[in-house]
Amino acid sequence: MQAEQNELITRVGPGTACGALLRSYWQPVALLDEFDPRLDARTGARPVKPVRVLGEELVLFRDGAGRFGLLDRPCPHRGADLAFGRCEDDGLRCPFHGWKFGVDGACLETPAEPVGSQLCQRVRQRSYPLQARAGVLFAWLGDEGSTPCALPAFDAFLAPASHSFAFKGLWHCNWLQAFEVGIDPAHPSFLHRYLDDRSMADDEAYGRQFRAASAGDVGGERWPMTRIMREFHRPEIRFDAVADGLLRLTTLRPMTDRLTHVRVTHAAFPSTFVIPLSETITITQMHVPVDDTHTYWYSFFTSFAGPLDKEAMRAQRLACVTLPDYAPIHGRHDHWGFDPEDQRTRTYLGMGEDDINLHDQWAVESMGSIQDRTREHLGTSDKVIMANRRTLVKAIETVRAGGQPPMALAAADAAALVGPDTIDCIAPAERWEAHWTDAARAKRSAATWLRAANGTPSDGESAAAEAAR
Does 88 share its domain with 231?
no
In a domain, 19, yes or no: no
Does 111 share its domain with 243?
no
Does 325 share its domain with 458?
yes
Does 124 share its domain with 177?
no
The residue segments making up the domain with residue 390 are 153-468
In a domain, 355, yes or no: yes
Of 89, 107, 140, the residue that ends a domain is 140
pLDDT score of 454: 53
Does 136 share its domain with 159?
no
pLDDT score of 460: 36
Tens-level pLDDT at each residue, the chain (469 residues): 999 999 999 999 999 999 999 999 999 999 999 999 998 888 888 999 999 999 999 999 999 999 999 999 999 999 999 999 999 999 999 999 999 999 999 999 999 999 999 999 999 999 999 999 999 999 999 999 999 999 999 999 999 999 999 999 999 999 999 999 999 999 999 999 988 876 555 445 555 566 677 777 777 777 888 888 899 999 999 999 999 999 999 999 999 999 999 999 999 999 999 999 988 999 999 999 999 999 999 999 999 999 999 999 999 999 999 999 999 999 999 999 999 999 999 999 999 988 889 999 999 999 999 999 999 999 999 999 999 999 999 999 999 999 999 999 999 999 999 999 999 999 999 999 999 999 999 999 999 998 776 544 433 343 333 333 3
Does 75 share its domain with 194?
no
pLDDT score of 206: 53
Does 116 share its domain with 179?
no
pLDDT score of 339: 97
In a domain, 323, yes or no: yes
**Total of domains in the chain:** 2
Of 118, 140, 162, the residue that ends a domain is 140
pLDDT score of 221: 73
pLDDT score of 202: 47
In a domain, 219, yes or no: yes
Q: Are 47 and 448 in contact (CB under 8 A)?
A: no
Does 101 share its domain with 157?
no
Does 162 share its domain with 111?
no
In a domain, 86, yes or no: yes
In a domain, 146, yes or no: no
Of 111, 140, 169, the residue that ends a domain is 140
Does 178 share its domain with 263?
yes
Q: Dihedral of CA 171/173/174/177: which sign?
A: negative
In a domain, 211, yes or no: yes
State the CATH number of the domain containing residue 46.
Answer: 2.102.10.10
Does 124 share its domain with 51?
yes
Does 133 share its domain with 160?
no
Q: Dihedral of CA 177/181/182/184: which sign?
A: positive
In a domain, 297, yes or no: yes
